[in-house]
Amino acid sequence: MAEMQLSLFERLKKSASAEWLAYTQHAFVQQLATGVLPESAFRHYLAQDYLFLIHFARAYALGVYKATTLEDMRHSSAAMSAILDTEMALHVKFCEGWGLSPQDLESTEEASATMAYTRFVLETGLAGDALDLHTALSPCVIGYAEIARNIIADPQTRLEDNPYRPWIEEYASDAYQNVAQDARDHLDRLGDERLTGIRYPKLVEVFGRATRLEADFWEMGLNCAS
């Protein structure tokens, strides 16, 4: 009974707890929290995240197509618009502070880890329905909010003189936490409409794989440090 009282996202997270732990407590995250992450690792991550955002805008465009109600269409359309009209510009400005020009970002070659996760999300959405798509998106959208909250609450975190403090505070902000909560609520609504007991294991598979691919994205950053 208690299991059913959890939100769909919390149920999925509990069912894929090992993958979730590996993602949210990855060495990249821990080093970022204490300010010891190599700057080359963070710059590589930022450049790849630019490409990541482009593909996620495509995923939300697919979400509009896969939606079956106007409310769901508007949800995905708003998310796509936020990425294209706001987040991309903010990301470019943030990258410039790390020595990455718009031209650098445009000429960045897509890493295998970036390709693996973004194509998985798109292929999951193409093959399935809106619930499959938003389940695949959720580890990123909701996970970043949880990671930032955990970093802020951790006594081992060093914010003073931490070059990654702006990144941490951006995802810990009320604005982004609200984005994550909206994604949780939307996933719950889709689950109420479409989830059956027989379907749940497949959804866990999608969530677990997406979470593993998120951890691989962090690992990519560490491996490219120089």
Among 19, 95, 146, 214, which one carries the catalytic annotation? 214
Taken in order 10, 14, 15, 17, is the CA torsion positive or negative?
positive
For residue 199, how many other CB atoms are within 10 A of its CB? 13
DSSP state of 69: S
146 is catalytic: no
Q: Is residue 4 within 8 Å of 10, Cβ to Cβ?
A: no
- For residue 115, what are the contacts with CB-CB under 8 A and spacing of at least 6? none
19 is catalytic: no
| Nearest partner of 48 among 96, 97, 118, 99, judged by Cα | 118
Among 110, 140, 169, 219, which one carries the catalytic annotation? 140
Retrieve residue 156's tokens. Answer: 């081992």
- For residue 192, what are the contacts with CB-CB under 8 A and spacing of at least 6? none
With 0-12 / 13-18 / 19 or more C-beta atoms within 10 angstroms meaning exposed / middle / buried, residue 159 is middle
Retrieve residue 109's tokens. Answer: 């070659």
Name the residue type at position 78: A
* Enzyme catalytic residues: 140, 214
